[in-house]
């Protein structure tokens, strides 16, 4: 048997793999050395930055030699990482001096923008955007050139680049910038996770009322997905938007997702005008509307009263599992007594009985655990 | 027929066999080579990313249900649940499904966690056996549910867990496995990166030899057992091969049953776990591919290299053989059930690369390898074997396999920041040759005979001997 072709190929593969083992070993050695070097660098940077910050505290300028040194060194990602770590460590003691220090250092930072972007390495660029975010938080300002970088970064294919840019935008506290960012994402149809967007908006550090008003002003220009993000954000934030929410809830032409968000809003912030609509939705057993019914049953937990209890009791007999589950959960939350529910327990519907019994068991166990604690 | 004619025919047959093996080995070694090089580079890239991500990670989360199917797991189940309670994650629940154990699995759970009975109606979206009782408890704000059901096999227990889960994503883990403290965050990350991700595979590593406390690795060394050490090398190689490389083109066909995350809605729509297969984990993933492509659903099945699950591997050869027999039957069942994926342009790279790889180099490999040995014997008998070359070739090939295992092993330990002693390094170098020669041959024979006596509807948990591990 021969097979010289295979033999040669295997030899080549073998050589490459041996090279990889050497690469592994070299990486281990390099990373150990790098750690040691970083320790030294950390000590040096701490001393330099501390000196500059003390100078600023005393009303003087930071040392220009330090500035030149930093400008040269920040082009290396390792150095930038250590620099950020040192800045974060010193921040609690020098928070008042940080804005002035970063302002004096801004000349050194500007050339880095192009440097980190041109390498076409998303990890590097995402980290650089993170540093911008940290510095922006420390200085409390977002220079115009940084604004445009952040908006530009939203078009990056890498999620981390976009997310870091967005975080910096939220932390800027500037309403206009946040709205522009959402417009960029929406108009370019960038697939950024909706949950990340909603949660991110919650971290906005500026005037939230102003942001919500701004978002309402341009609400109709957004696509449905972004509109849901905005409604969800508003739901987590404030009870003072009932009128607009009610208008969307009433508008049957609107996308179901938008109306679901409004139903949830009125579950969190009970509203007299929304109540009859929720009751109607919870009673509507049309098959294609089961989602409206299920969410409405859940929202009715915030509306005590006989009509609510009767509606929820009727919903217990619906064939859809989610409707029954939400109705039973709401009844338990409303504290419906055994007497209120006796007709369900005495009735013929085993499914209604079982789901209600389960919720009552859960409530009983919670109370028991609370007493035990 | 003259002797000359017979010899001529035999020579012709051997020539064909020769060509077949040349092509087969070129394919295999190229695949292995690509997987190890691509996998290693990917691991290093991830490590670098992680160093930077350490600084930029955010506290986002997606609610997750963790399903722990258990059968006769009284020795390990409470440790596993304790380890799950120590996870660094905001919102999750734990559902232990006792599949009609003959030991005290349910009792130890109820006693250890002070669980209380609850009459929970199960939303039966997937077919499964009847529940016998349900207990629940809230520990450190994590909802723990225990469901005892009639025995129906692992897949059936998982389907029950899915039915009882309340969150949109679920994770299945084995009752003898331990998740690293940050593994939920890591495995959920691909979902945040891309909304089309429907399943994510975690990275499974043998826990034999590792000391784990509250989900953190305290110390790591190669297991004392030679067999377990060889499996560590084998796991590293195969994870690099059939996970990272296939992940590059959305072609992963396996997400280990020991640690995988799935979108509940899609799993329910596609029919859930198949209770009649032994390889329910692979079958589900192949089914998801088929279902999504057939229904034009945009989807991604990803692999999270840094989401680590520590799982016990068998330390007795008999247990290992039993396990591999089970895996091979499962592989056969999955590929046979979804045979329409074979050489089908509609399924693209999933068909032409992943399915073909699993068919030729996993399912058929024991038969091809043993056929190879027989043809060498035949060539020897006919005096047509170039013995020095055959020996050299075998040696080269063994060295190649060993180097591949070592490369994967070092890449994995290095990127996971596991500190290896000098003795362990020597042990790994020594054992890698035994792994590719002796262990591989034993397992080839095991897999060769695995389909004998195969019965389709046999429900089997394939138990191996468990050791009590203190994860706290």
Can you tell me the ipTM of this complex? 0.73
Distance, in Å, from the CA atom of B34 to the CA atom of B42, rounded to the nearest integer, reads: 12
Hey, are the CB atoms on B407 and A24 less than 8 Å from each other?
yes
Question: What residue numbers bound the domain in which B299 lies?
Answer: 1-57+176-472
Q: Which two tokens stand for residue B121?
A: 């109606």
Neighbours of A2 (CB within 10 A): 12
CB-CB contact of B282 with B179 (8 Å): no
Of the residues A17, A318, A352, A356, the best mutation for testing chain B's interface (the one with the most B CB atoms within 10 Å of its CB) is: A17
CB-CB contact of A259 with A232 (8 Å): no
- Non-local (6+) Cβ contacts of A36 within 8 A are none
Selection from B42, B311, B302 nearest residue B173 by Cα: B311
Greatest mean pLDDT among A10-14, A115-119, A325-329 lies in A325-329
Selection from B364, B366, B388, B382 nearest residue B14 by Cα: B382
pLDDT mean over A235-254: 91
Selection from B21, B117, B129, B9 nearest residue B69 by Cα: B129
Average pLDDT over all residues of chain A: 87
CB-CB contact of B38 with B408 (8 Å): no
Number of domains chain B contains: 1
Alpha helices, DSSP H, located in B165-225: 183-193
pLDDT of residue B278: 85
Residue in chain A nearest B379 by alpha carbon: A1
Angle of helix A256-268 relative to helix A242-250, nearest 10 degrees, comes to: 140
| pLDDT confidence band for A1 (50 / 70 / 90) | very low
In tens digits, chain B (472 residues) has pLDDT values of: 777 888 888 888 888 888 888 788 888 878 888 887 888 777 777 777 777 755 555 667 789 999 999 999 998 899 889 889 989 888 899 999 999 999 999 999 999 998 988 888 889 999 999 999 999 998 888 999 999 999 999 999 999 999 999 999 999 998 878 899 989 988 998 888 888 899 999 988 888 888 888 788 888 888 889 999 999 988 888 777 667 888 888 999 999 888 999 999 999 999 999 988 888 999 999 999 999 999 999 999 999 988 999 888 899 999 999 999 989 999 999 999 999 999 999 999 999 999 999 999 999 999 998 888 888 888 888 887 778 877 877 787 788 888 888 888 887 777 777 777 888 888 998 898 888 888 888 998 899 888 876 665 455 665 555 555 555 5
pLDDT of residue B459: 57
Q: How far is CA A142 from the centre of its chain?
A: 21
- pLDDT over 60 at A294, yes or no: yes
Hey, are the CB atoms on B30 and A28 less than 8 Å from each other?
no
Nearest to B48 among A85, A123, A357 (CB): A123
Hey, are the CB atoms on B55 and A10 less than 8 Å from each other?
no
- pLDDT over 70 at A187, yes or no: yes
pLDDT mean over A235-264: 92
Chain A CB contacts of B56 under 8 Å are: 126-127, 130, 160, 164
Chain A CB contacts of B14 under 8 Å are: 1
pLDDT of residue A6: 62
Residue in chain B nearest A134 by alpha carbon: B56
Strands B259-263 and B169-173: antiparallel
In tens, the pLDDT along A136-183 reads 888 887 778 788 889 999 998 888 889 889 988 998 889 999 999 999
Domain ranges of chain A: 272-373
pLDDT of residue B126: 95
CATH fit for domain A272-373, picks 1.10.10.10, 3.40.50.970, 3.90.1300.10, 1.25.10.10: 1.25.10.10
Chain A CB contacts of B120 under 8 Å are: 358, 361
pLDDT of residue B242: 66
Report residue B308: phi and psi, to 5°: -100, 135
The verdict on residue B132 lying in a domain is no
Residue in chain A nearest B197 by alpha carbon: A193
Hey, are the CB atoms on B414 and A9 less than 8 Å from each other?
no
User: What pTM was estimated for this model as a whole?
Assistant: 0.82
Least confident range of A41-45, A71-75, B318-322 = A71-75
The verdict on residue B216 lying in a domain is yes
The verdict on residue B182 lying in a domain is yes
């Amino acid at each position: 048997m021969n097979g010289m072709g295979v033999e040669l190929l295997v030899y080549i593969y073998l050589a490459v793999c041996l090279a990889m083992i050497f690469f592994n070993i070299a990486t281990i050695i390099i990373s150990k050395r790098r750690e040691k070097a970083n320790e030294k660098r950390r000590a040096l940077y701490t001393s330099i930055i501390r000196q500059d910050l003390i100078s600023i505290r005393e009303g003087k300028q930071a040392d220009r030699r330090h500035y030149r040194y930093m400008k040269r060194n920040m082009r290396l990602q390792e150095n930038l990482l250590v620099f950020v770590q040192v800045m974060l460590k010193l921040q609690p003691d020098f928070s008042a001096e940080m804005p002035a220090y970063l302002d004096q250092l801004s000349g050194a930072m500007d050339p880095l923008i192009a440097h980190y972007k041109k390498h076409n390495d998303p990890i590097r660029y995402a980290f650089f955007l993170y540093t911008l975010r940290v510095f922006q938080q420390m200085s409390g300002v977002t220079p115009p050139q940084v604004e445009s970088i952040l908006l530009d970064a939203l078009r990056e294919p890498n999620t981390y680049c976009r997310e870091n840019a967005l975080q910096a935008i939220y932390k800027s506290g500037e309403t206009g910038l946040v709205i522009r960012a959402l417009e960029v994402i929406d108009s370019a149809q960038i697939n950024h996770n909706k949950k990340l967007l909603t949660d991110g908006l919650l971290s906005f550090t500026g005037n939230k009322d102003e942001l919500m008003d701004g978002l309402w002003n341009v609400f109709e220009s957004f696509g449905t997905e972004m509109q849901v993000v905005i409604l969800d954000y508003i739901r987590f934030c404030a009870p003072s938007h009932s009128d607009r929410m009610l208008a969307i809830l009433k508008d049957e032409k609107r996308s179901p997702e938008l109306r679901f968000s409004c139903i949830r809003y009125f579950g969190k912030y009970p509203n007299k005008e929304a109540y009859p609509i929720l009751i109607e939705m919870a009673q509507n057993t049309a098959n294609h509307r089961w989602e409206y019914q299920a969410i409405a049953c859940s929202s009715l937990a915030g509306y005590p009263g006989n009509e609510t209890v009767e509606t929820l009791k009727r919903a217990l007999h619906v064939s859809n599992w989610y409707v029954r589950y939400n109705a039973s959960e709401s009844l338990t939350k409303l504290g419906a007594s055994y007497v209120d529910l006796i007709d369900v327990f005495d009735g013929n519907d085993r499914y209604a009985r079982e789901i209600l019994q389960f919720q009552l068991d859960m409530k009983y166990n919670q109370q028991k655990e609370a007493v035990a604690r | 027929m003259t002797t000359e004619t017979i010899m001529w025919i035999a020579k012709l047959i051997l020539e064909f066999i020769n060509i077949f093996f040349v092509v087969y080995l070129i394919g295999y070694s190229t695949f292995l080579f690509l997987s190890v090089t691509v996998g290693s580079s990917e691991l290093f890239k991830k490590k670098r990313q992680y160093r930077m991500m350490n600084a930029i990670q955010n506290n986002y989360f997606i609610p997750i249900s963790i399903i722990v199917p258990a059968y006769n797991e009284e020795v390990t189940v409470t440790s596993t649940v304790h380890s799950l309670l120590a996870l660094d994650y905001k919102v999750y629940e734990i559902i232990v499904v006792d599949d009609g154990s003959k030991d005290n699995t349910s009792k130890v759970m109820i006693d250890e966690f002070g669980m209380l009975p609850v009459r929970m109606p199960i939303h039966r979206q997937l077919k499964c056996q009847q529940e016998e009782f349900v207990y629940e408890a809230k520990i450190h704000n994590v909802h723990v549910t225990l469901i005892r059901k009639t025995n129906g096999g692992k897949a059936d227990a998982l389907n029950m867990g899915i039915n009882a889960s309340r969150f949109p994503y679920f994770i299945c883990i084995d009752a003898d496995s331990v998740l690293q403290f940050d593994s939920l965050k890591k495995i959920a990350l691909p979902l945040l990166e891309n909304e089309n991700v429907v399943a994510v595979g975690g990275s499974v590593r043998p826990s034999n030899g590792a000391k784990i406390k509250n989900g953190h690795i305290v110390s790591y060394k190669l297991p004392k057992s030679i067999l377990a050490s060889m499996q560590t090398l084998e796991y590293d190689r195969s994870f690099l091969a059939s996970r990272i490389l296939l992940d590059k083109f959305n072609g992963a066909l396996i997400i280990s049953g020991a640690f995988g995350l799935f979108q509940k809605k899609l799993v329910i729509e596609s029919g859930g776990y198949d209770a009649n297969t032994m390889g329910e984990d692979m079958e589900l993933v192949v089914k998801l591919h088929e279902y999504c492509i057939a229904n034009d659903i945009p989807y991604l099945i990803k692999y999270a290299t840094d989401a680590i699950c520590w799982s016990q591997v068998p330390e007795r050869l008999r247990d290992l053989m039993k396990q591999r027999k089970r895996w091979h039957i499962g592989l056969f069942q999955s590929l046979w059930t979804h045979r329409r994926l074979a050489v089908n342009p509609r399924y693209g790279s999933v068909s032409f690369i992943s399915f073909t790889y699993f068919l030729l180099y996993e399912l058929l490999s024991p038969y091809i390898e043993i056929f190879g040995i027989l043809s060498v014997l035949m060539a020897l008998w006919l005096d047509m074997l170039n013995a020095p070359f055959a020996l050299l070739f075998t040696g080269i090939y063994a060295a190649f396999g060993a180097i591949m295992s070592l490369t994967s092993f070092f890449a994995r330990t290095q990127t996971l920041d596991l500190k290896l002693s000098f003795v362990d390094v020597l042990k790994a170098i020594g054992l890698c040759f035994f792994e590719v020669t002796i262990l591989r041959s034993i397992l080839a024979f095991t897999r060769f005979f695995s389909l004998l006596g195969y019965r389709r509807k046999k429900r089997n948990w394939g138990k191996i001997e468990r050791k009590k591990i203190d994860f706290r």
